[in-house]
Structure 1
Amino acid sequence: MKKAIQVINKHAKFLKGMFILIVSVLVVAQLLSIFNSLSIDKFQSILDNVSWWKFVIILLVGLLSIVPMTGYDFTLKKMVQLDYSKRYIFEASWIINTINNLAGFGGLVSVGLRNEFFRKGAKDQRIIGALTKILVFVLSGLSIYSLFFFVLTQFFALSDYVKQYWIWLLGAGLYFPIVFLIARRKKDGLLTGLSLENRWRLIGTSFFEWTGMIVTFSVIGYFLDSPIPLNDSIPLFIAATVIGIVSMIPGGLGSFDVMIILGFSSMGLPRETVVLWLLLYRVAYYFLPFLLGALLFSKHLFTKLDEKYNSVPSQLAVELFHKLIVGLLYFSGMLMILVATIPEAFTTNKWLEHLNPFRLHIIAQFPSILLGFSLLIMGRGMAARVKRAYWPTIILLVVTIFYAFITDFSLFTVSYFVLLLILVIVSKSELYREQLVYSWEWLTMDGLIYGILTVLYLIIGFYNLPSFSNHFQRHHILRPGSFLLFPSEKAWFSGFIAIMVVIVFLSLFTRYLRGEKKKVGTALNEAVASQILTTYGGNIDSELIFLRDKEMYTYYKDDEPTVFLQFRTINNKCIVMGNPSGKKDDFTAALKAFIFDCDVLGYLPVFYEVSEKTVLTMHEFGYDFIKMGEEALVDLQSFSLAGKKQRGARSLMNRLTKEGYAFEVVQPPFSAENMQALKAISDSWLEGRKEKGFSLGFFDEAYLQRNPIALVKNQAGEIVSFANIIPTYTKESATIDLMRHHKENAPAGSMDFLFIHLFEYLKEEDIQYFNLGMAPLSNVGKYRSSFIQERIAAFVYEFGSELYSFQGLREYKSKYASLWNPRYTLYSRDSWILYVIIALLIVDNQKNDDSLKK
């Protein structure tokens, strides 16, 4: 026997699962058999005979029957001193009990839910112990009713069908007394510490809980005109409930129903009536309270999520309101303009009449145009989240409401604008930007809207002009002289004059929204930039800041500058050149601060030619990216001219050395004579072309005076080629910027001669890598699954050699490169890639801005 018990305990989960599965299969089979015997027409007839007010009473009784179950949680509040309001206790209790009613499993679900809802507010942290005590009493009410009806089956005249379930009633009747006695058998037993008052509270709660179930079930039977007396229906209900609990199927679903259908059918009640009885019972006592609990749970979950995630969910809700406001402002503005300028269209075309929410016989032409365009610009201000747009939008909506009221009162129109006004007030927190920076993207969208409005104004107004329609229908032509230039010209010209006035007004208002036109960052602070670079190091792009053609953004930590970014502003885009410079540990914080400052002022950062690490960081901020190419790195510590691959380089070096050419690295400061010689070489190399800037250096004496310059001289000691060495302020890498040779005096291969000597020079300086710079569009869009932007770039790479030798540049750098690192451009999802590329082209082809040097 002992061995058998051990085997059962070992496989308890499996045996339990098999038991539930077998019972479920049998129940489903029985239900299918029952439903196959039902008459749908008869069921429908019975349902039609139930008055609607009876359904309402049934549902109300079902909801009220749940209320006693909240007593468990108010008792729990006393037991562990829950620090929650009565409202919270009631709502949480409703959620817990309605979920537990459906889930079943002997109340175990309720224990887990109560622990989740009340754990944090319990001053007495032994909440699990208290919940276990409550669990003992949950079935006490059922046990009392079972014992009562067991006595009835033995001593009173009940139907023989009900009497056969006496064993179930007896078992359930003895359950609570036995469990109660076992639980308090020892001084330190399960019920230790539970006061007599709380015990009676729990017993009373359970009794009224089961009373509620019985009342709900009985009321439904009464309204269905059931002939079965209560002394038979209630004991059968109790027995079926007990069997449903024992089956361990959630909610007794199926097993309980089979018992009720078979029992009442055997007592002469039509199965269709029993099925309707059960459906109403399930809806009234289980599903409707559960739906109400689900709503309360959604509210509770939203509140918890809002607290947990720092009010982000509520902010998202406000964001939704904000987007709705923008859409409604644009919608309202466009319709008001159309209604005023082409009123015929909104009276003759039914679909336009239904589309118009204002039903405006209302507004005269000029005020409507003024208000319509004002709503459009307000929509742009709200879409841009500009703080300055708040009060003008409020005032505009109040004026619109007042004007609609006095011109041709429409309750719908006034209500519409009042709702819009409320939404604007609620969404005030979404307006945080200091100014409006009208981006190319917004100009494009608004331009399309204004253009479409104009086209619709002309076309729809022309075809819906009554005189035109009548003439067209009768003669298919217009009578000459009926207009001077085009139909409805008088209305059009009056509208045109109104629009001209509106443009002046909107220009002034747009200027107001733009504010003082603040910019992010400052001009170069050379001392701060040098301090950051010498203290924390930089990268191959850091030195470009000293060209003074870019703004500088400095990040301070504990009042100490640790990171700077260099960028240039085009339209609403702050185009950052390369990776941040300075203390790497502060890069993420610096980028976050930069994005925030840009956002407040209405700008969107674009990060140009950055590394993979920056891509990963910025992707967390919601940025998209496109690969721009790869940069070539030469491993200086392993570089050698030995081997077959470098045979041509060795031959070149030997030839130029024999011809008397020499390599030299000179240190600043440089004499005026040397600078003139370098300028002459630069001019010769440019051949009249305009120099670029931003990502590339240009000939600037102050810039060249900062760092060593590598020279190639001929046998007469004249400089024929040069390259300025760019430090990264680390031993990791170095590079050059300007790489120029005299078109006439420099021999072929002078740049290779300079490079190879420079490799050797930097190797002696213990520099690890020499950066040969970018190979644009290299290895971009190679795969079918690559971004469409990169696939287009790959097409340019393959077939654009007539404009720029992309492949040739890659092949040239491949002679020396031992490592290729990808470079990317990052841009906000609010930016259009086309305008990002245009901004990059503009900024790369501008040499500098003298205003930035001041």
Structure 2
Amino acid sequence: MGKFIEWFKVHLNKLKTIFLISVIVIVIFELSNVAKTISIDQLSTIFSRISVGNILLMALIGLVSIIPMIGYDFTLNQILEQKPKKLFVFETSWLINTLNNIVGFGGFVSAGLRSEFYGKKTSGKKVLQALSKILVFTMSGLSIYALISFFLVIFDDHNQFLRQYWIWLVGGGLYFPIVFCLSLFGKGEYLGDLKSSHRLQLIATSFLEWTGVLVSFIATGLLMGIHVNIRDTVPLFIAATVIGIVSMIPGELGSFDLMMIIGLSALGTPRETVVAWLLLFRLFYYLVPFAIGLVFFFKNLGSTINLRYSGIPISLLKELVHKFETFFLYFTGIMLVLSATIPEAFIKMPFLEHLNPIRSRVIVVFPAILLGFLLIVSGRGVAARVRRVYIPSIIVLTLTFLYSLLAGFRLSTGFFLALLLIFVIFSKNELFREQLVYSAEWLTIDGAIMGGLAILYIIIGVYNSPNIHHRHHLPEFFLFPSEQIWIVGFVAILIVSFIILLFVRFLKNKRVQIGEPLDEARIQHILTNHGGNPDSQLVFLKDKKVFYYNDGEEDTVFFQLSTFNNKILVMGDPSGKNSDFEAATEALINEVDRYNYLPVFYENSEEMVMILHEFGYDFIKFGERAHVYLPTFTTSGKKMKGQRASVNKALKEGYQFDVIKPPFSAETMQSLQTVSDKWLNGRKEKGFSLGFFTEDYLQRAPIAVIKNKDAEIVAFANFMLTYTDKLGTIDLMRHDPDKAPSGTMDFLFINLFQYMRDEEGLEYFDLGMAPLANVGTQRKSFTQERIAYLVYNFGSRFYSFGGLKEYKDKYANEWLPEYVLYSRDSWIGFVMIALLITDNAPIQEEKKFSGIRRFLFKE
């Protein structure tokens, strides 16, 4: 026994989880059983015969009848000597009791839930003792009514039919005296030590509970217009309930209903009327209160589960609701436009009629098209979680509700739109972004939907034109009521297009850019105190924005950014304090997300892959970075035969290697400019991941030069400071095609390796990345990598990827993989296009957009 108790304590949390999941499963199962007994069509027929006032009164009586059961939980907390908030007790008690009405199982489910809600601050034994007292007294009220019913049946011989139930009434009636005596004279901990005040409270609560059940049932019949003999109905109801409870069938489904149908039919009420009576009773006493209980469930039990599992359940639920909300805004909008575009289809094709949530004939074309497209745009704003869409969405849904009311209101339409409106209202906290940045992905989706609907409308109009002869018979639902109505709709589409553009512009708000201009003092502080990487020096080109991370005391990390549409392209690994990379990355992602951008991390190391993977980012291998291990570098051996020949040839022809250090004179800069211009040969300079020729940039570090025998500079490569003591690299590597012989670059590299090893004491030389090296070329490569290979390889005119990898392979000792990481909301094709355009964009030209492109992609 001791081992069992110890095992139980160890696995208590797991057992609680299993219990909660089991309750949910049982509830779903039992609700499905209840649903099988309720026909929507039958309810509609019944409701049509009863006034709205009587239906509302039934619902009110059902809700009031639940209230006495809350007394159980107030008494329970008194027994446990604890004082939780009254609102908490009310909500949780409502949930427990309405759920217990549905599920049943002898009250064991309610006991488990009460333990979960009220037993956390009390010992398990004390909770169990208190629950046992509550549980046994819940049937005392039914037992009292069973005794009363027994005497009514035995001593009133006007109805012999009810006498057959005397044994059930006696059995039920004996329950209360036995329990009362045990609680009064017993000495057990689980029942005998109950205080008189608590005993009276439990008896009164139980009696009022069962009074409420009887009142709800009888009142439902009376409000239906049924002649009810209360003297006969009460004993029959009590006997049927006792039989149902003894069977332990949840909610007494089946046995109770069967007994009531037989009994009431024998008492003169038509069978069909009894079925309707039971149906309404179950609806207003069981389902409606339970629906309210579900609200409390998500508020209280949901909060408990959410707290236990670190907020994940609520987060998942919110995400699910958000997906549904977005889907139904789009769906409703599309159906509204289609109902104006092909109205006959909703008559000729029944499945469309049932699919349509509005379910009404279009009375005016213009409002249907306008509201439909506005709902689609609202859906986009909600999907993007833009704060400014909140009020417009509520207004559009309200107008849609009014429109459907005029078009022929249906209960299902009103319920659907009301539910959707509630979703939108309660989604306010989920709408946190400051602006809408219409991405290429979203433009593709929405363009296909809205453009497709507009084109469909135009095509139908053309085919319906009396001036066009058709060889093929058109489906009837493509026929439009009249040409004039179609023209009105076409004009409506033109007007709606303008309104949509205004709506989108409103959601876009005043564009906020991410990042700040270069602040050299802040950058130098980070690099000097916390270090950098081979890409850090690119920040001084000033062609990118900078995102600074401050740990609360000082700047410790920075990122280099460029914006393309809704993509924030982050160049390379972050620079600065390595231990702050994760926190800095999170800060960047949160800032970018706030303004509706999506980060794309370009040329990142495996370290950043691991960090960003935790934030849910997908990644593809984009290439490999070549490193030369300097301590073992040598030109001897068969592999370096060609390079030795190049070096010897250059030396014989009088070429010399030298490293010049800043500041550089105007003459030197002019010589370098001349070499650079000849190398470019009229091509535009590129930026972002590459350096370009500017005096300010080149004045920041030494430059390796090759001079001919006349002391003219014919080739150069500028050093890139890496702010480490192990790694060296260069950026621009240019030569004069007319004056530098073949092999000049080999001569330059070999001398650089030796210089950085012998003079700088470095271990590695970074030759840079070979894009798409070993990426997407295999049959089983990831689909994303194969797409990236196709887009970048066929889209770039400036690289020979294969040749670059082959050239660097002559020197490299190791190849380190480089990655592109992107949000799962991005499409890899558009990611690669953004990188391709940005990486190859001429730096001299400003981005210029016009027309609709400027409207949608304005920076």
Structure 2 partner of 1:705: 699
Question: Residues of 2 paired with 1:580 and 1:191: CA distance?
Answer: 68
Structure 1 partner of 2:437: 437
* Match of residue 751, structure 2, among 752, 757, 770: 757
Alignment of 1:33-432 (within 5 A): 73-84=73-84, 88-89=88-89, 92=92, 113-120=113-120, 122=121, 125-126=122-123, 128-132=125-129, 134-135=131-132, 195=195, 197-198=197-198, 298-304=294-300, 305-306=302-303, 308=307, 309=311, 312=315, 313-314=317-318, 317=321, 320-332=324-336, 334-335=337-338, 338-339=340-341, 345-347=342-344, 350-351=347-348, 354=353, 357-363=359-365, 380-381=380-381, 383-391=383-391, 409-412=406-409, 419=418, 425-432=425-432
Q: Output the TM-score relative to the length of structure 1.
A: 0.67
Task: Give the drift of 1:596.
Answer: 3.2
Local SS of the residue matching 1:724: strand
Q: Please say if residues 565 and 580 of structure 1, whose CA atoms lie closer than 8 Å, have aligned partners that are also in contact.
A: yes
The question of 1:604 aligning with 2:598 is answered yes
Report which stretch shifted further, 534-543 or 456-465.
456-465
Question: Residues of 2 paired with 1:390 and 1:518: CA distance?
Answer: 20
Question: Residues of 2 paired with 1:10 and 1:532: CA distance?
Answer: 55
Local SS of the residue matching 1:578: strand
* Match of residue 687, structure 1, among 681, 686, 689: 681
Deviations 1:173-200 (A, max 9, x none): 999999999966xxxx889986455467
Deviations 1:21-59 (A, max 9, x none): xxxxxxxxxxxxxxxxxxxxxxxxxxxxxxxxxxxxxxx
Q: Please say if residues 570 and 600 of structure 2, whose CA atoms lie closer than 8 Å, have aligned partners that are also in contact.
A: yes
Task: Give the drift of 1:839.
Answer: 1.5
1:106–1:816 CA distance, 2 compared to 1 (3 A): farther
Q: Please say if residues 733 and 771 of structure 1, whose CA atoms lie closer than 8 Å, have aligned partners that are also in contact.
A: yes
Question: Residues of 2 paired with 1:10 and 1:324: CA distance?
Answer: 51
Structure 2 partner of 1:155: none
1:66–1:452 CA distance, 2 compared to 1 (3 A): closer
Structure 1 partner of 2:582: 588
Deviations 1:624-677 (A, max 9, x none): 322211112223345455665555545654554555443322211111222222
Structure 1 partner of 2:258: none
Q: Please say if residues 98 and 286 of structure 1, whose CA atoms lie closer than 8 Å, have aligned partners that are also in contact.
A: no
Structure 1 partner of 2:41: none
Q: Please say if residues 546 and 561 of structure 2, whose CA atoms lie closer than 8 Å, have aligned partners that are also in contact.
A: yes
Q: Which one-letter code corresponds to 2:298 in the other structure? A: F
Structure 2 partner of 1:448: 448
Q: Which one-letter code corresponds to 2:804 in the other structure? A: L
Alignment of 1:757-796 (within 5 A): 757-764=751-758, 765-781=760-776, 786-793=781-788
Q: Please say if residues 335 and 372 of structure 2, whose CA atoms lie closer than 8 Å, have aligned partners that are also in contact.
A: no
Q: Please say if residues 136 and 180 of structure 1, whose CA atoms lie closer than 8 Å, have aligned partners that are also in contact.
A: no
Task: Give the drift of 1:723.
Answer: 1.3
Question: Residues of 1 paired with 2:299 and 2:752: CA distance?
Answer: 65
Report which stretch shifted further, 770-779 or 805-814.
805-814
Q: Please say if residues 630 and 820 of structure 1, whose CA atoms lie closer than 8 Å, have aligned partners that are also in contact.
A: yes
Question: Residues of 1 paired with 2:792 and 2:401: CA distance?
Answer: 58
Local SS of the residue matching 2:685: coil
Alignment of 1:804-819 (within 5 A): 805-819=800-814
Q: Please say if residues 377 and 504 of structure 2, whose CA atoms lie closer than 8 Å, have aligned partners that are also in contact.
A: yes
Q: Please say if residues 694 and 847 of structure 1, whose CA atoms lie closer than 8 Å, have aligned partners that are also in contact.
A: no
Question: Residues of 1 paired with 2:138 and 2:344: CA distance?
Answer: 70
Deviations 1:353-377 (A, max 9, x none): 94674412434x6x77666666655
Local SS of the residue matching 2:409: helix
Local SS of the residue matching 2:457: helix
Task: Give the drift of 1:797.
Answer: 9.9
Identity of aligned residues (%): 47
Local SS of the residue matching 1:589: helix
Q: Which runs of 5+ in 2 are unaligned?
A: 9-61, 148-166, 168-173, 214-237, 256-278, 475-480, 848-859
Question: Residues of 1 paired with 2:294 and 2:750: CA distance?
Answer: 70
Question: Residues of 2 paired with 1:379 and 1:142: CA distance?
Answer: 51
Deviations 1:794-839 (A, max 9, x none): 6789999999543332233233323322222222333332222222
Question: Residues of 2 paired with 1:713 and 1:623: CA distance?
Answer: 48
Question: Residues of 1 paired with 2:395 and 2:131: CA distance?
Answer: 59
1:509–1:547 CA distance, 2 compared to 1 (3 A): same
Q: Output the TM-score relative to the length of structure 2.
A: 0.67
Structure 2 partner of 1:724: 718
Question: Residues of 1 paired with 2:242 and 2:493: CA distance?
Answer: 79
Question: Residues of 2 paired with 1:85 and 1:598: CA distance?
Answer: 41
Q: Please say if residues 796 and 836 of structure 2, whose CA atoms lie closer than 8 Å, have aligned partners that are also in contact.
A: no
Question: Residues of 2 paired with 1:88 and 1:284: CA distance?
Answer: 30
Q: Which one-letter code corresponds to 1:843 in the other structure? A: T
Structure possessing the higher radius of gyration over alpha carbons: 1
Question: Residues of 2 paired with 1:197 and 1:541: CA distance?
Answer: 78
Task: Give the drift of 1:725.
Answer: 1.3
Question: Residues of 2 paired with 1:720 and 1:115: CA distance?
Answer: 85
Deviations 1:757-780 (A, max 9, x none): 323333343434322111211222
Report which stretch shifted further, 686-695 or 456-465.
456-465
1:652–1:428 CA distance, 2 compared to 1 (3 A): same
1:368–1:849 CA distance, 2 compared to 1 (3 A): farther
Report which stretch shifted further, 743-752 or 501-510.
501-510
1:330–1:238 CA distance, 2 compared to 1 (3 A): closer
1:70–1:638 CA distance, 2 compared to 1 (3 A): farther
Question: Residues of 2 paired with 1:499 and 1:289: CA distance?
Answer: 49
Question: Residues of 1 paired with 2:667 and 2:746: CA distance?
Answer: 26
Local SS of the residue matching 1:579: strand
Question: Residues of 2 paired with 1:138 and 1:85: CA distance?
Answer: 23
Q: Please say if residues 788 and 832 of structure 2, whose CA atoms lie closer than 8 Å, have aligned partners that are also in contact.
A: no
Q: Which one-letter code corresponds to 2:663 in the other structure? A: P
1:757–1:175 CA distance, 2 compared to 1 (3 A): farther
Task: Give the drift of 1:538.
Answer: 1.8
Question: Residues of 1 paired with 2:396 and 2:6: CA distance?
Answer: 76
Q: Please say if residues 685 and 843 of structure 2, whose CA atoms lie closer than 8 Å, have aligned partners that are also in contact.
A: no
Deviations 1:700-722 (A, max 9, x none): 22111111112233444333322
Structure 2 partner of 1:578: 572
Q: Please say if residues 732 and 767 of structure 1, whose CA atoms lie closer than 8 Å, have aligned partners that are also in contact.
A: yes
Structure 2 partner of 1:18: none
Q: Please say if residues 620 and 785 of structure 2, whose CA atoms lie closer than 8 Å, have aligned partners that are also in contact.
A: yes
Local SS of the residue matching 1:691: coil
Report which stretch shifted further, 824-833 or 532-541.
824-833
Deviations 1:544-586 (A, max 9, x none): 1111111222233326333222122222222121122223333
1:381–1:210 CA distance, 2 compared to 1 (3 A): closer
Counting matched residue pairs gives 755
Q: Which runs of 5+ in 1 are unaligned?
A: 13-61, 150-162, 164-169, 214-233, 258-282, 340-344, 477-486
Deviations 1:55-100 (A, max 9, x none): xxxxxxx999999987764432112233335675466457668989
Q: Which one-letter code corresponds to 1:817 in the other structure? A: A
Q: Please say if residues 686 and 841 of structure 2, whose CA atoms lie closer than 8 Å, have aligned partners that are also in contact.
A: yes
Task: Give the drift of 1:11.
Answer: 14
Q: Which one-letter code corresponds to 2:361 in the other structure? A: R
Structure 1 partner of 2:225: none
Task: Give the drift of 1:303.
Answer: 1.8
Question: Residues of 1 paired with 2:395 and 2:2: CA distance?
Answer: 80
Structure 2 partner of 1:516: 510
Report which stretch shifted further, 198-207 or 757-766.
198-207
Report which stretch shifted further, 175-184 or 640-649.
175-184
Local SS of the residue matching 1:697: coil
1:611–1:370 CA distance, 2 compared to 1 (3 A): same
Q: Please say if residues 626 and 815 of structure 2, whose CA atoms lie closer than 8 Å, have aligned partners that are also in contact.
A: yes
Task: Give the drift of 1:736.
Answer: 1.3
Q: Please say if residues 326 and 383 of structure 1, whose CA atoms lie closer than 8 Å, have aligned partners that are also in contact.
A: no
